[in-house]
Amino acid sequence: MPSSSVVPQKRASSSDSLPEKRQISIKQTPEEEASAKGYFQQHIFDDSFKDDLKTQIADSQPYRWGTIHDLIDDDLLRNVRKEIISEISFKKKETDIYKVFQSGDLANLSGMTKQDLERLPSLYKLRSAIYSQTFRDYVSYVTNCGKLSGVKTDMSINTYSKGCHLLTHDDVIGSRRVSFILYMPEPGKTWKPHYGGSLRLFDSVVPNVPRSDHYCKFTPQFNQIAFFTVQPGLSFHDVEEVRVDKQRLSIQGWFHIPQVGEDGYIPGEQERTEAKSTLQQLETKELKEYDFPKIQYNEIVSREAQELINLVGKETDYLSVMDVDYLAKFMNPSLLTPASIERLNTIFAEESVVDVHSFLSDDYLGSLKKQIKQFELNEFPEMPNSQEKVLFPWKLAVPPHKQRYCYIDGLQKQCIDNAESIAEINQLKSTELPNFELTKTVFELLKPGVADELAKARENNPSLVSVHDISMRLCELASFFKSISFKKWLMAVTGFRPIKDQILARRFRPGHDFTLASKLDTLNDDHVLEGLLEATLNLTPSTGWESGEFGGYELCMSTDEPETTETAEEGLNEDEAAIYKASEEDSVVYESQACWNKLCLMYRDPSVLKFVKYVGFNAPGSRWDINCGWVCADDEPEESG
Amino acid sequence: MGPKRPQGFGKKAKAKKQKVDEVVEEVPVTNELTVELPAEVDSNDPVTQLEGLWLTWLKSDKDNELILNGIVHECDRLLRNCKQNGGNEDIELGASFYAIYGLSLAGLAQFNTEESETGVKEYFENAIERIENGMDKFPGEEGLILAKSQIILDRIPLEYISQMDQDSHSKDFPDVGELLEEATRLLEVGIKNAETKENYAIFNGSTILSVLDSFDDLLDIIANFGRDYNEGLDSDAEESDEEDNDGQNELSTTHPLFKVQNNDQYQMNLRDTIAKSLELARKNEQPDESVQRRYRKKLGELLLLEAEEPISIYTALEFGSDEEESGVGEEQAKKSKKAQKKAQKLVGQAIEHLTAAWDEEEPQSWVDLAEAEISMGNLFAEEGEQEKWYGLAEKKLVRANNASHGKYEEVLSNLRGTK
């Protein structure tokens, strides 16, 4: 069957993700309550089992969590699985933070209708078992989390097939107290760790800042439940991408804080929890200190700035002969003619974005494409798969509830793996200016250091290559983007005068990297434009990205209002209740698959969210790019057209 | 005045998907096809353009219905406007035109499976009608004969097998065996005609490969019919912890696929056809290496498939825990030796082909070869020989594992555990 192109959907509630708003409060009948205990395997109710579990949870790391094998009566859960497979249709949902198949016609099991009950009797039993007084008290006891609501239920069915994933988040929304996931992969078979789909828990550097590498990983089996207390700023977890062609079916949900009228209800408790939610914490200034790379636009040196000021309002003559000569060493010469500059400007002025294909000249590129491809196939040492393996001058973008990717920023080495050293960076050390020429030299100097090891490894695989050569080329390109000549070309094409810049060479590794949708910080400066001029030079040498199946694409969504809007929490599934909540008017305004030698130039105003989709484990390679941002002067009032 | 400035696209009209690709001279644009034209032809000729478009489709991921629709519309237009049909365009419609017309119509069927069975049926019937029109005008033309063969091979799974389940009865479906016979007969005739005319070019590109892919896919679908696809097969050969799931694949004798599923002849036929195509492809002045690799890969895979039976006989007799089987009588030993020899020969040939299919930029081709080497290692009881093969495989898997950042970790540790 043909695969359709992935047009990712916005990450938030939308009318189609929530078919209809349903009443989610339920009340168990006494009969249901009485039979609920029988739906569980009885060994879990042994006092010693319970107490052991309670101790395990109290001692667990990185935060309080627990698991029970063989929770539900085996026949009942097998029937639940059969009902789900035969009765429920799944629909793929994809946003910046997840790709998952959700039960399309039954978004939240709390909203089961009478007809649903008839076709899904086992599922109904399961729901009543999970939310029974017996089990709620059980969970409350072993986790020591306090009372749990019996009227507010919140469960949904998801299946993760090959390529599906859910990136790092802490589940903190509204009145959630305990998160749980009941796993139902194929019964009678062992779900192996290399299938992926594990639940991974993250420790935090400080509250609200998860570490980039997971602390532990839990590989689920049929009829096993995992649960943890939802702790604002601490309970960070993700679902590792499923790597093979298997279905990891699960029911997941939350126990909520007791509601008005219920035993254990405490007025104001819910509001206090909400105030601590990640949503509200995500963008606070203090926490941004833990973001690396820092969004930091550096002033263009005054001599160059003055040169650009002198060009304002000039018709042409932006580029001197020397400029053109310099640019022609890098760029496709056809982009340097007055006619094509004018043409690019016309498109850019009209659309605010322009894709320039074959941006770099063939002469400049030489064998770079092959070189990067060969490097990916024969990387030495192996592709870094943890923070400590990313070696300077490469760095790792953190924290993982916002981003993860490798980058070169041309700045000094920084230790970012603990709160103290980060505080030192933020409060004591001055940040020097990026210098890609120097960074290139650093790579050059480091190269002989690995030569011996490389030579030894080549005895087994003569094709092995180290990262140094291509890194030097990337630095060279970053320097080119920082050149005054390029800024003049940029000014001619965009009509904007750059006054500050930030350039990064980036690599998004398969099975690891992404950026989540983020909007720009508004700059409170009357002399600069509120939007940002951005460029991404795509340098991904591998092919096979076009369908979007492996992610790695860059996408922009426009929001009506820059402010996040409050979305009704009720009825949201974990996946829907993502960290960002955008308004209903979101729409995709730009999408670009990973590719080779294409420059995307855009002027992004603050209402536009942008992200690079998580690159799947089975992707044909890494996504490589040079990412640039320029703060521009507000030289003239904006034109209306 | 300086250059014009934009407003920022968040402020522009909403929901308007950007169409912003800029062309720099000599540079192709996204969303626009780069149409490959056969060498030394007039690129203004509409039939040549059609051929270029078709070639582009063949080389693409074949997932864009719009391209196919475009091709069909262009065929409709050419047919209407050509002078032969009273139009005013001076177009000569050759055999390739009818082949493209038929194949593109058949190709559209796969995008219309959800409408109704009739939709698919209509597409295929129209496709065959176009081909037969061409055949009337150009009798013996290999391109048309091969096209008809491919349409039949694509039609069987899409129109018929897709409607079958485990309980289907042969009386409700056309005779799949007969259809397969017809398709293979046409394939044979087409190849023979091309050989006679020394038309080796069709073996050096996508034309034959595309028919062979359809043939291969069909045999695969038939062999795996009834198997549970919910749980995938690609990670490892996992054994069920429970004793069930066996016998899922056994069809009743009245099932429309029963006969073809139990007939090895088609696999042999496919293998021979690929071998022949490879031989003829080599007669081109400049044989395309990637095409050669694809033939070789297919041959390797088919040989490994064929080796499965003697491998399982050998393994059962040599290592079987079953008392009956492990009682090593003289007869058993003989049988085992024979199976071992046969399997070694087939796997050896497969290794030869897969070595030729090696692609320095395609780790999967390294893994394919490594797997064959592991199979070979398994066919030796002597440690030395076995170690040698496992060693060769391990080296390739280590490299592939590095290239794919850990994808073969499990396979590697299994292999190391075996050693």
pLDDT-derived band at A304 (thresholds 50, 70, 90) equals: very high
pLDDT of residue A600: 95
Q: Percent of chain B having pLDDT more than 90? A: 60
Handedness of CA B176, B180, B182, B183 (dihedral sign): positive
Distance from CA of A260 to the nearest CA of B (A): 42
d(CA A350, CA A353): 8
Residue type, A277: S
A393 upstream amide cis, omega within 30 of 0: yes
**pLDDT on residue A83:** 94
On whether any CB of chain B is under 8 Å from the CB of A294, the answer is: no
Q: What pLDDT score was predicted for residue A281?
A: 56
Q: What is the pLDDT of residues B82-99, one digit of tens each?
A: 887 788 888 888 999 999
Could you say which of B14, B61, B63 has the minimum Cβ distance to residue A558?
B14
Mean pLDDT, rounded, of chain A: 87
- Put simply, whether A244 touches B (Cβ < 8 Å) is yes
CB A105 within 8 A of CB A19: yes
Contacts of B242 in chain A (CB under 8 A): 187-189
Is residue B365 within 8 A of residue B293, CB to CB? The reply is yes
Residue A507, beta-bridge partner list: A406, A624
What per-residue confidence (pLDDT) applies to B328?
58
The rounded percent of chain A whose pLDDT value lies above 70 is 88
Question: CB–CB of A561/A522 below 8 Å?
Answer: no
Quick one: pLDDT at residue B45?
Answer: 80
Work out the average pLDDT over B123-147: 95
At A103, is the pLDDT very low, low, confident or very high (cuts 50, 70, 90)? confident
Give me chain B's average pLDDT, please.
84
Tell if the CB–CB gap between B402 and A379 is shorter than 8 Å: yes
How many Cβ pairs within 8 Å bridge chains A and B? 208
Q: Which of residues 17 through 56 in chain B touch A, CB cutoff 8 A? A: 17-18, 20-30
* pLDDT, mean of residues B121-126: 94
Does residue A563 surpass a pLDDT of 50?
A: no
pLDDT digits (tens, 9 = 90+) for A627-636: 999 999 988 6
In angstroms, the CA B92 to CA B47 distance is 8
Contact B98, B134 (CB under 8 A): yes
**pLDDT tier at A537 (50, 70, 90 boundaries)?**
very high
Q: Contact, B148 vs B131, CB < 8 A?
A: yes
> Domain boundaries in chain B?
37-225+252-281, 305-418
Q: Return d(Cα B104, Cα B68) in angstroms, integer.
A: 6
The verdict on A588 touching B (C-beta cutoff 8 Å) is yes
Flag if A311 and B2 touch (Cβ within 8 Å): yes
pLDDT mean over B142-162? 95
Q: Is A460 on the interface with B (CB under 8 A)?
A: yes
CA distance to A295, A300, A409, A436, B294, per residue, from A439 (Å): 19, 19, 9, 5, 44
Q: A376 touching B, CB under 8 A?
A: yes
Q: Which residues of A88-102 are buried (b: 16+ CB within 10 A; e: fewer)?
A: bebeebbbbbbbbbb
In which element (H, E) is residue A507 found?
Answer: strand A498-508
The predicted structure's pLDDT at residue B104: 95
Name the residue with higher pLDDT: A397 or B317: A397
Residue A22 has pLDDT above 50, yes or no: no
Q: Do B6 and A495 touch (CB under 8 A)?
A: yes
* Residue B360 with chain A: CB contacts under 8 Å: 377, 463
Q: What is the pLDDT of residue B99?
A: 94
- What pLDDT is recorded for position B26? 38
Q: Give the distance from residue A512's alpha carbon to the nearest chain B alpha carbon, in angstroms.
A: 11
Q: Which candidate from B8, B360, B403 shows the least CB-CB separation from A604?
A: B8
* Residue B60: pLDDT band with limits 50, 70, 90: confident
Which site among B14, B20, B239 would you substitute to test the A interface, given the most A Cβ atoms closer than 10 Å to its Cβ?
Answer: B20
Out of A189, A334, A340, the one facing B241 most closely (by C-beta) is A189
Query: What Rg do the C-alpha atoms of chain A give, in angstroms?
Result: 27
pTM for the predicted model, two decimal places: 0.87
- What's the confidence (pLDDT) of residue B175? 95
Q: Is A131 helix (H, G, I), strand (E, B) or coil?
A: coil
pLDDT at B248 > cutoff 60? no
Residue A3 has pLDDT above 50, yes or no: no
Helices (H), B27-116: 46-59, 65-81, 95-109
Confidence at A115, pLDDT banded by 50, 70, 90: confident
Q: Which of A199-213, A516-530, B45-59, B108-122 tops mean pLDDT?
A: A199-213
User: Is pLDDT at A566 greater than 70 in this prediction?
Assistant: no
pLDDT at A277: 63
Q: Which of A164, A587, A630 to mutate to test the interface with B (most CBs of B within 10 A)?
A: A587
Instruction: Let me know the angle formed at the C-alpha of A370 by B351 and A356, rounded to the nearest 5 degrees.
Output: 135
- Per-residue pLDDT reduced to its tens digit, A216-239: 999 999 999 999 999 988 999 999
> With contacts defined as CB-CB under 8 Å, which chain B residues touch A463?
360, 399
Q: Residue B37 has what pLDDT?
A: 47
How far apart CA B112 and CA B128 sit, in angstroms, is: 17
Give the sheet arrangement for strand A587-592, strand by strand.
Answer: A403-404, A514-518, A608-612, A554-558, A587-592
Three-state DSSP state, A337: coil
Three-state SS for A516?
Answer: strand
More confident residue, A103 or A177: A177
Confidence check: pLDDT of B370 > 80? yes
Give the list of residues 6+ apart from residue A429 with CB closer than 8 angstroms, or none. Answer: none
E strand or H helix at A357: strand A353-357
Counting other chains too, the contacts that A204-207 makes at CB distance below 8 Å and 24 or more residues apart are A204/A62, A204/A233, A204/A234, A204/A236, A205/A290, A205/A399, A205/A417, A205/A418, A205/A419, A205/A422, A206/A290, A206/A419, A207/A232, A207/A233, A207/A234
Tell me: pLDDT of A402 over 70. yes
- Rounded to whole angstroms, the Cα distance separating B155 from B158 reads 5
Looking at per-residue pLDDT, the higher value among A522 and A81 belongs to A81
What's the confidence (pLDDT) of residue A29? Answer: 76
What structural domains and CATH numbers belong to chain A?
A: 31-284 (2.60.120.620), 302-632 (3.60.130.20)
Answer yes or no: are the C-beta atoms of A14 and A573 closer than 8 Å: no
Is the CB of B230 less than 8 angstroms away from the CB of A247?
yes
CB contact under 8 A, B232 and A546: no
Q: Are A220 and A191 in contact (CB under 8 A)?
A: yes
Continuous H helices in A97-205: 114-119, 121-130, 133-143
Is residue A441 over pLDDT 90? Answer: yes
Residue A477: band (very low, low, confident or very high) from pLDDT cuts 50, 70, 90: very high
Phi, psi of B16 (to 5 degrees): -90, 110
Is A17 a residue whose pLDDT tops 60?
no
Contact B402 A190 (CB under 8 A): no
Instruction: Determine whether the interchain pair B5/A347 forms a contact, defined as Cβ–Cβ distance below 8 Å.
Output: no
B240–A355 CB contact, under 8 Å: no
